[in-house]
């Protein structure tokens, strides 16, 4: 199975400031069709996970444009341009290239 | 309203069985592939199982293969996870998640149902 590694484990942020987190995969997630099979999800406190970004860089419906995904192959980044209080939660990356999907361990975003 | 609602969780002894259900609404169930994902207390997300829209293709995580069985009834708008030979490490909140054929992502999640395996 593909191993997904996220960093940092915890990310204290100041509202209004940018934030960035990393996700690395043990194998390339770039498929022959040119797409990176990597999604980002956020789990806010007490809630179910929800889709943020799919195929590496595409925002899901309703996701604010302060969220952006980038990267290719084995290295990916999720950025929040200006953090808001409602963005606290745990952010997970997940590879969807293989039939056995795997998640990263998560990055917990909290307000300083 | 487009939603998924899980049920069937509870307390079960080690070695016991439990059957989880997921009830979709607000969309055409047979158009979508489905997954089960679990989250142990205070831990991250773990993919458990996948079933294609027709039910003909199924995959399991190694941690549950041979013990869990995923199934669906498109006519009755239902998704199931039969869990046998339960272990303490199966204790988790179990989510059902909808997956579109393209793009491949889990675009809809249920609220989860808690399974506790303990004597």
Buried b (16+ CB within 10 A) or exposed e, B35-63: bbbbbeeeeebbbbbbbebebeeebbbee
**pLDDT given for residue B100 in this prediction:** 83
Altogether, the residues listed in chain A come to a count of 112
Per-residue confidence band for B101, with pLDDT thresholds at 50, 70 and 90: confident
Per-residue confidence band for A104, with pLDDT thresholds at 50, 70 and 90: very high
**Residues of A with CB below 8 A from B110's CB?**
48
**pLDDT given for residue A15 in this prediction:** 96
**Percent of chain B whose predicted confidence (pLDDT) is above 70:** 100
**pLDDT given for residue A73 in this prediction:** 98
A2 touches chain B (CB under 8 A): no
Of A1, A37, A103, which has the smallest distance from its Cβ to B45's Cβ? Answer: A103
Per-residue confidence band for A91, with pLDDT thresholds at 50, 70 and 90: very high
Beta bridge pairs of residue A58: A54
In this structure, what DSSP letter does residue A36 have?
Answer: B
**Residues A78, B107, A5: CA angle, nearest 5 degrees:** 35
Q: What is the mean pLDDT of residues B73-87?
A: 98
Residues A10-65 have pLDDT tens digits of: 999 999 999 999 999 999 999 999 999 999 999 999 999 999 999 999 999 999 99
Q: Nearest C-alpha of chain B: how many angstroms from A23?
A: 14
- The answer, yes or no, to whether residue B94 has pLDDT greater than 90, is yes
**pLDDT given for residue B86 in this prediction:** 98
Q: What is the mean pLDDT of residues B60-66?
A: 98
B interface with A, Cβ–Cβ below 8 Å: 35, 37, 44-47, 50, 59, 61-62, 95, 97, 103-107, 109-112
**Average pLDDT of chain B, as a whole number:** 97
- The answer, yes or no, to whether residue B64 has pLDDT greater than 90, is yes
Q: What is the mean pLDDT of residues B73-88?
A: 98
Residues B6-55 have pLDDT tens digits of: 999 999 999 999 999 999 999 999 999 999 999 999 999 999 999 999 99
Output the six-digit token pair for A13. Answer: 């942020």
**pLDDT given for residue B42 in this prediction:** 96
Name, in order, each residue with C-beta under 8 angstroms of B108's C-beta and a sequence gap of 6 or more: B2, B3, B4, B27, B97, B98
């Amino acid at each position: 199975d593909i191993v997904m590694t996220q960093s940092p484990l915890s990310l204290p942020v100041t509202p209004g400031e940018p934030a960035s987190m990393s996700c690395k995969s043990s194998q390339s997630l770039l498929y022959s069709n040119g797409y990176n099979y990597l999604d980002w999800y956020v789990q806010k406190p007490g809630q179910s996970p929800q889709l943020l970004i799919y195929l590496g860089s595409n925002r899901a419906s309703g996701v604010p444009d302060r969220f952006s995904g980038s990267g290719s192959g084995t290295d990916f980044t999720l950025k929040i341009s200006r953090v808001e209080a409602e963005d606290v939660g745990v952010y997970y990356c997940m590879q969807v290239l293989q039939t056995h999907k795997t998640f990263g361990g998560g990055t917990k975003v909290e307000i300083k | 309203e487009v939603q998924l609602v899980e049920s069937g969780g509870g307390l079960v002894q080690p070695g016991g069985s439990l059957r989880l259900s997921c009830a979709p609404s607000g969309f055409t169930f047979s158009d979508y592939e489905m997954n089960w994902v679990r989250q142990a207390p205070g831990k991250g997300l773990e993919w458990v199982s996948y079933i294609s829209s027709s039910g003909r293709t199924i995959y399991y995580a190694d941690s549950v293969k041979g013990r869990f069985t995923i199934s669906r009834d498109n006519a009755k708008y239902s998704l199931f996870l039969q869990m046998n030979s339960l272990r303490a490490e199966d204790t988790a909140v179990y989510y059902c998640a909808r997956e579109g054929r393209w793009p491949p992502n889990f675009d809809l999640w249920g609220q989860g149902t808690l399974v506790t395996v303990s004597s």
